[in-house]
A and B are shown apart, each in its own frame.
Chain A
Amino acid sequence: MAKRKGSMAQSGKAAEKPEADAFNDLFQPVYKGKGLTDEINTAEDKWNLLPAFLKVKGLVKQHLDSFNYFVDKDLKKIIQANQLVLSDVDPEFYLKYLDIRVGHKSSSLKRGIERKEVLMPPHECRLRDLTYSAPIYVDVEYTRGRKIIMHRDLEIGRMPIMLRSNKCILDGRTEGEMAILNECPLDPGGYFIVNGTEKVILVQEQLSKNRIIVEADEKKQIVQASVTSSTHERKSKTYVVTKNNRIYLKHNSISEEIPIVLVLKAAGITSDMEIMQLVCGEDSTYQDMFIVNFEEAAKLGIYTQKEALEYIGKRVKTVRRINSPRLTLLQEGIEAIATTVIAHIAVENLDFREKALYIAMMTRRVVMAMHNPKLVDDRDYVGNKRLELAGQLLALLFEDLFKKFNNDFKANIDKILKKPSRASEFDALLSINIHSNNITTGMNRAISTGNWSLKRFKMERAGVTHVLSRLSYISALGMMTRISSQFEKSRKVSGPRALQPSQFGMLCTSDTPEGEACGLVKNLALMTHITTDDEEDPVKRLCYALGIENIAIVDSGNLHTNGTFGVHLNGTLIGTTRFPIQFVSRFRFLRRTGKVSSFISIFISMHHTAVHIAADGGRICRPLIIVENGVSKVNSDHLLKLRNGEWEFDDFLRNGLVEYLDVNEENDSYIALYERDIVKTTTHLEIEPFTVLGAVAGLIPYPHHNQSPRNTYQCAMGKQAIGAIAYNQFRRIDTLLYLMVYPQQPMVKTKTIELIDYDKLPAGQNATVAVMSYSGYDIEDALVLNKASVDRGFGRCQTLRKNTTTLKRYPNHTKDIVSGMRVDEDGKPVFQHSSLGPDGLGEVGMRVESGQVFINKCVPTNANENIIGGPATNEYQSQEQHRETPMVYRGPEPSYVDQVMMSVGDNDQALIKVLLRQTRRPELGDKFSSRHGQKGVCGIIVQQEDLPFNDDGISPDIIMNPHGFPSRMTVGKMLELISGKAGVLNGTLEYGTCFGGSKLEDMSKILVDKGFSYSGKDMLYSGITGEALQAYIFFGPIYYQKLKHMVLDKMHARARGPRAVLTRQPTEGRSRDGGLRLGEMERDCVIAYGASQLLLERLMLSSDAFDVDICGECGLMGYNGWCPSCKTSEGIVKMTIPYAAKLLFQELISMNIAPRLKLGDVF
């Protein structure tokens, strides 16, 4: 935090965080009808903690935190781990990395100003297809001859910078400054710009590392405890499994399963009694189950540690590197136990005890699960998951690249040092720069392709990054909170897809896609935080200070006796205590007073009789109000301070009023949903229940009244809604951009909408809806649109499409040019060039019709020729030798040139971007949806005078068929209509917040007061006959979104057109002007109908009919009335077959199969 504040101060006196601008009105004197002087009601106003939380954390804080941690801390750790570069040739030589910085030099710190050296403002990078990056500087110390030289600020590459991270120039800018930089202040950041495209590194979900997971297969009678050890060097998985009720240790690098007693003996627990004590304690049932394992060791005749180590050493699969010494069996065994098995626990000075205890603990868990099958762990439990963020992934990548960089560097030095005589003194720095491009390109390539391949961990992941979807503000936001699972989509297991109870408050319960990724792709809930790694050592020392008995001196016999609780830090046993409750409450007390990082979780597990402390990164946690003695610690005084701006969210944390709990600790707490639910044993109070939903599901009004799948559908559709995408939307040149011309904020808002600023960048309009039947054009959810509304701008949107070209330079000094327009005899430009300007580019504002040119690019005809004649002839040629390769607009509707940009890209080639715009009004077939998962297409557009109207003369914008309600059960939509109607009449915006919002009774009251029916139904008159309609019509405003699926983009028909080269069948797909396929099922229908001539026409004549000459003699195909195999022209028959059939015959012939056609007469 301190750092953030520091950087804020430099960016101007009045500098406030950019979010502050957006959040400011939440702290305005009068907000939501409450003035500063109004009484504070704790129960209702505690929700103000949420905007305070988001003000500090933001919506994409997890990404920013993770990236900041990476550039500020992780990078330093990586440098330290790979500190030295030594030479094989010269033992005197060394180069040592001292420090690493991203984006600023060491000197800038001294002067107290932290100037951020980024390439250029992010928006310019977007436009010019560049990478938004900052230099990576290292300080090195190395030997030159006899001297030791320090070199500061050596650039080793460039690091892509996450937008809005603390290395980004947007960090800590005000709204005004953002406008100067062409940035949208509401844009959350958290993504990268690589080669001009915005890339997000999605959050990855994985099973936690370095933790024991016990699973059972009851059918196979197998219980196994497994742990995935992950260190900087290696990643491996160790299993303790049962086989015929005996327990073995299994590891990839050991060829067979090793009896567990043997492993424990090898780890130095030589006596059977101690093994029994460590595994079973005093429990006689466990002892009885475990006893068989001793026989195994006795049968093998292995009694001592040395014997056991040799036994294991014999079975180790060794991968010997060249030059490495051959190891004895004993050494192999030691190596296996010390470093291979359970690699994350280091063995120092041959003290195997910690490892032995860990293995014994795994064995104990297996024995416990064998005895009581309920004691297995749940893989899908959120507490057993860790989220991997951009920072961690980048750290893995960077370490790999950095190692490679150092290896190359070392090879380079060796090459030079090997030379016996050198003219000048050797300076290592001269060879370091040669490879400096590796890191830059490596990072860029990984982010832009999404392929994370790391040899170290044998990691080969594709699809890690995605292009940030800019379809709407919500889709971009939704992408930043998305969590993708490593789980295979094809496997048919329901577990990982199911909604876990432990997801409550952590992951959104509604926002998941339908179909194959259902339940595997999740979204973060609104008020969550993802932890970064915390140091283990201080926590350990604190535990000892709090009276935890160090595991080094704990007697094995007492470990599992009644009342002794193990204390585990990040899954590793570090000590024991007999007073777990006291210890845990003291620890929590220290955390609440801010002495320990607030993201460290601690809880008691009665099943394991253990206290678990977690300080690792990637845990999801969320803040909760602390309750003590049945009283919430947050009271009105605190909320007043928050409202007056004296306190921030962190003050609540610092003063022990609010704390972060992760899923595991949540299970150790008793959390009240509302203040009225607090009882004596309550430990925490929910800040706001609607935070179970995420940002995207938070748009739905009254979601708690809807059938749950409807909310899920809306989550998918909200991302497709056309609206305003950002304040800088007109400055952007994206491949495809949809913008709504007159977006409105919803009449019925939710608190989430305000918090995520959806009201500032909305995607939809408040349509007056009449729920009734009208004409027959409203079946199957089709909507009836009012023509007058459409004329007034309802549902009007713009599509902007980018067209890019580069002007290349060729090796023979020729280059592409843009030439001016061609004119006819009157001096007017020809039709194709009529929208061009004199520079050969489309003029901004000009209409471009199908077939017209908007970039008149010409390439030299001799581009590929070598330079033979010399420059003189070349010059002469360059006058003539260009061929027009214009960019021609093709489309059913004309477009307008919106923006033209010309710049120079990375490789010094001119880059031209032309943005073409279309303004579209709704038409038949365009797709609309309300915020309740109720989508429909426009079925008919009706003249306003034909539409029904009410007493006030209001006619609806949309008529919706009432059949949409019974089966969908979207009661929230009805409530939205009533609240919206009340709001319109009352002149207020109403709220439909989840588990809250404006009450139906109040809304009905307003309706009645304004002279309407409490039920929201009005008397309407037919627009056609003028008669009053037979029933009262449910009538009022509902927020409607226009979805990106529009008829204009989809309409397609073809009579004749292109065919595929190979098969000569019509091409596929609209983009290739493809044919419309008469598929298998349609074929079945035609066969069943008996329309054989139609079948013949569709399947062959209209597709790939081909005339062949068939030899009646041999049945093979010939040509020109000649059979090449029979060498005759007799008996050749002409016939028509599909080209695909001809192709098949030829392919069969090519593999020595002769398909012969035997022809006979039909009649």
Chain B
Amino acid sequence: MSLFVSDDEIDEPMEGVTGSMDGGYIDDLDDPVVEEIPISFKPISEAELYLLQFPNKAANSAYAKHEIANISDAKVKSQSGIIEVEIPVDKSRFFDQEKSEKWFNVEAQTLSGVSSDAQGYCAGQLVNGELCLFPLAKTMQLRPSFKYVDALRAFRNESARATDLHHGPDARDKKKDVQVVQMSMKTVGDNAPRLGGALQSKKREEEERYESYEFRAQHDEASVSVLKSLRQMSDSELRLETRADNLGGLLE
């Protein structure tokens, strides 16, 4: 790892200098060890664990919990790493039918997000005094995407353009403008400057199809059984590549 300065510089400890790290950082003296628990690490090979975060839903709000438990639909674009979920709107309370109709009967909020690598994070569960750690593959934050607003605007633009085309003063002229250019040479794709990084991924995202997934809430039977099966997976021994002296005795 390039993180560390090469080892040959530390192989001879200088007397009287190394170990002393008093005052180096705050001591844990006022925070004594109360209990020690075993930790088991469960590498998941056949499936990937994603951490979904809902930044706009407060964790302590019962309503938000309820909403998340009732996610109706989950769609994934695995190539671009995009997940989209739908939460049905509670029609019984504070529901404005008129507005809903304005937006083509919107009945659910859409949350979507892009995944990023979890970079060493794990999900943990305390079971029978043992902490099970499951490494996360990806993390993502899901935010409302207001698709219905975009849809309405797109519709309006479309109809406006349509009326323009048929009734506008220069509708015909515009049609005439269309020219057919005959290409005499084979154009080579490489010649044209390509789309930039972000645009390329946007294009890829647009071209990719959503795969539908079933959403199971936390206490759903299926979820529980999956969790159980995960827990029963054999522990794997973690081999630490980081040696104590890698961090200069910070771990001791």
Chain A residues with CB under 8 Å of chain B are 2, 86, 88, 91, 268-271, 273-274, 303-307, 321, 323-325, 327, 331, 334-335, 337-339, 346-351, 353, 535, 537-539, 541-542, 544-545, 550, 552-553, 555-557, 579, 581-582, 585-586, 588-590, 593-597, 628-629, 637, 651, 654-657
Distance between Cα atoms of A541 and B1 in the complex (Å): 10
Which residues of chain B have C-beta atoms less than 8 A from A324's C-beta? 192-193
Size class of the contact patch on chain B: 35 or more
Distance between Cα atoms of A544 and B202 in the complex (Å): 30
Which residues of chain B have C-beta atoms less than 8 A from A268's C-beta? 143
Which residues of chain A have C-beta atoms less than 8 A from B4's C-beta? 538, 595-596
Q: Is the CB of A656 within 8 A of B17?
A: yes
Distance between Cα atoms of A626 and B233 in the complex (Å): 50
Distance between Cα atoms of A539 and B16 in the complex (Å): 28
Min Cβ gap B171→A in Å is 22
Distance between Cα atoms of A553 and B113 in the complex (Å): 12
Distance between Cα atoms of A597 and B242 in the complex (Å): 18
Which residues of chain A have C-beta atoms less than 8 A from B196's C-beta? 335, 338-339
Q: Is the CB of A274 within 8 A of B56?
A: yes
Distance between Cα atoms of A323 and B195 in the complex (Å): 12
Q: Is the CB of A325 within 8 A of B195?
A: yes
Q: Is the CB of B55 within 8 A of A335?
A: no
Q: Is the CB of A350 within 8 A of B5?
A: no
Q: Is the CB of B150 within 8 A of A304?
A: yes
Q: Is the CB of A595 within 8 A of B248?
A: yes
Contact of B246 among A335, A538, A544, A595 (CB under 8 A): A595
Distance between Cα atoms of A581 and B23 in the complex (Å): 12
Q: Is the CB of A304 within 8 A of B146?
A: yes
Which residues of chain A have C-beta atoms less than 8 A from B220's C-beta? none
- Among residues of A, the one whose C-beta sits closest to the C-beta of B1 is A538
Query: Which residues of B (55-75) have their CB < 8 Å from a CB of A?
Result: 55-56, 58
Distance between Cα atoms of A588 and B23 in the complex (Å): 12
Which of B88-96, B114-122, B162-170, B222-230 lies at the binding interface? B114-122
Q: Looking at chain B's contact residues, is the secondary structure mostly helix, strand, loop, or mixed?
A: loop
Which residues of chain B have C-beta atoms less than 8 A from A351's C-beta? 114, 116
Q: Is the CB of A594 within 8 A of B10?
A: yes
Q: Is the CB of A91 within 8 A of B188?
A: yes
Contact flag A335-B81 (CB < 8 Å), given A304-B146, A654-B9: no
Contact flag A557-B9 (CB < 8 Å), given A351-B114, A593-B248: no
B18-52: contact bitstring with A at CB < 8 Å (1 yes, 0 no)? 10011111100000000000000000000000010
Q: Is the CB of A550 within 8 A of B119?
A: yes
Q: Is the CB of B3 within 8 A of A538?
A: yes
Min Cβ gap B40→A in Å is 21
B199-217: contact bitstring with A at CB < 8 Å (1 yes, 0 no)? 1011001000000000000
Q: Would you list 23 pairs from A and B whose C-beta atoms are within 8 A, ordered by A residue?
A: A270-B143, A303-B149, A307-B150, A307-B153, A324-B193, A337-B198, A350-B80, A542-B3, A545-B242, A550-B121, A553-B51, A556-B55, A557-B55, A585-B26, A589-B21, A589-B24, A589-B25, A589-B248, A590-B247, A593-B18, A595-B5, A596-B5, A629-B22
Which residues of chain B have C-beta atoms less than 8 A from A552's C-beta? 116, 119, 139, 141
Q: Is the CB of A347 within 8 A of B2?
A: no
Contact flag A271-B143 (CB < 8 Å), given A325-B192, A335-B196: yes
Q: Is the CB of B22 within 8 A of A541?
A: no
Residue B78 interfacial (CB < 8 Å): no
Most interface-central of A349, A556, A628 (chain B CB within 10 A) = A349
Which residues of chain B have C-beta atoms less than 8 A from A349's C-beta? 80-81, 114, 116, 201
Most interface-central of A88, A324, A593 (chain B CB within 10 A) = A593
Q: Is the CB of B145 within 8 A of A304?
A: yes
Residue B53 interfacial (CB < 8 Å): yes
Q: Is the CB of B197 within 8 A of A346?
A: yes
Distance between Cα atoms of A131 and B65 in the complex (Å): 74
Contact of A323 among B82, B191, B197, B246 (CB under 8 A): B191
- Among residues of B, the one whose C-beta sits closest to the C-beta of A555 is B55
Q: Is the CB of A306 within 8 A of B150?
A: yes
Q: Is the CB of B246 within 8 A of A553?
A: no
Residue B238 interfacial (CB < 8 Å): no
Min Cβ gap A668→B in Å is 15
Which residues of chain B have C-beta atoms less than 8 A from A553's C-beta? 51, 53, 118, 121, 139, 141
Min Cβ gap A113→B in Å is 22
Which residues of chain A have C-beta atoms less than 8 A from B8's C-beta? 2
Residue B124 interfacial (CB < 8 Å): no
Min Cβ gap A308→B in Å is 11
Which residues of chain B have C-beta atoms less than 8 A from A637's C-beta? 16
Residue B252 interfacial (CB < 8 Å): no
Q: Is the CB of A307 within 8 A of B144?
A: no
Which residues of chain A have C-beta atoms less than 8 A from B153's C-beta? 307
Q: Is the CB of A88 within 8 A of B191?
A: yes
Which residues of chain B have C-beta atoms less than 8 A from A588's C-beta? 24
Which residues of chain B have C-beta atoms less than 8 A from A307's C-beta? 149-150, 153
Q: Is the CB of A585 within 8 A of B24?
A: yes
Q: Is the CB of B149 within 8 A of A586?
A: no
Contact flag A555-B53 (CB < 8 Å), given A323-B192, A324-B193: yes
Distance between Cα atoms of A337 and B192 in the complex (Å): 23
Q: Is the CB of B247 within 8 A of A595?
A: yes
Which residues of chain B have C-beta atoms less than 8 A from A339's C-beta? 196-198
Which residues of chain A have C-beta atoms less than 8 A from B205's C-beta? 350
Which residues of chain B have C-beta atoms less than 8 A from A541's C-beta? 3
Given contacts A307-B153, A541-B3, 20 further A-B contacts (CB under 8 A): A2-B8, A269-B143, A304-B150, A323-B192, A323-B193, A331-B199, A334-B202, A348-B201, A349-B114, A349-B201, A538-B4, A555-B53, A585-B24, A589-B250, A590-B248, A597-B5, A654-B9, A654-B14, A655-B17, A656-B17
- Among residues of B, the one whose C-beta sits closest to the C-beta of A86 is B190
Which residues of chain B have C-beta atoms less than 8 A from A271's C-beta? 56, 143-144
Q: Is the CB of A544 within 8 A of B119?
A: yes
Query: Which residues of B (97-141) have their CB < 8 Å from a CB of A?
Result: 114, 116, 118-121, 139, 141
Q: Is the CB of B55 within 8 A of A350?
A: no
Q: Is the CB of A335 within 8 A of B199?
A: yes
Q: Is the CB of A586 within 8 A of B143?
A: no
Distance between Cα atoms of A268 and B114 in the complex (Å): 10
Distance between Cα atoms of A1012 and B149 in the complex (Å): 98
Which 8 residue pairs spanning A and B have beta carbons closest together?
A: A338-B198, A593-B248, A538-B3, A585-B25, A304-B146, A655-B17, A323-B192, A351-B114
Which residues of chain B have C-beta atoms less than 8 A from A346's C-beta? 197
Min Cβ gap B121→A in Å is 7
Min Cβ gap A1146→B in Å is 59
Which residues of chain B have C-beta atoms less than 8 A from A350's C-beta? 80, 82, 114, 198, 201-202, 205
Which residues of chain A have C-beta atoms less than 8 A from B144's C-beta? 270-271
Distance between Cα atoms of A335 and B202 in the complex (Å): 10
Min Cβ gap B116→A in Å is 5
Contact flag A629-B23 (CB < 8 Å), given A349-B114, A544-B119: yes
Q: Is the CB of B58 within 8 A of A557?
A: yes
Min Cβ gap A914→B in Å is 55
Contact of A538 among B2, B23, B58, B146 (CB under 8 A): B2
Contact flag A594-B5 (CB < 8 Å), given A86-B190, A271-B144, A657-B17: yes
Contact of A270 among B118, B139, B145, B192 (CB under 8 A): B145
Which residues of chain A have C-beta atoms less than 8 A from B139's C-beta? 550, 552-553
Most interface-central of A321, A346, A552, A586 (chain B CB within 10 A) = A552
Contact of A594 among B9, B24, B146 (CB under 8 A): B9
Contact of B202 among A331, A581, A656 (CB under 8 A): A331
Which residues of chain B have C-beta atoms less than 8 A from A273's C-beta? 56
Distance between Cα atoms of A511 and B81 in the complex (Å): 58
B179-192: contact bitstring with A at CB < 8 Å (1 yes, 0 no)? 00000000010111
Distance between Cα atoms of A335 and B116 in the complex (Å): 20
Distance between Cα atoms of A538 and B145 in the complex (Å): 35
- Among residues of A, the one whose C-beta sits closest to the C-beta of B5 is A594
Distance between Cα atoms of A585 and B24 in the complex (Å): 6
Q: Is the CB of A334 within 8 A of B14?
A: no
Which residues of chain A have C-beta atoms less than 8 A from B149's C-beta? 303-304, 307
Min Cβ gap B190→A in Å is 6
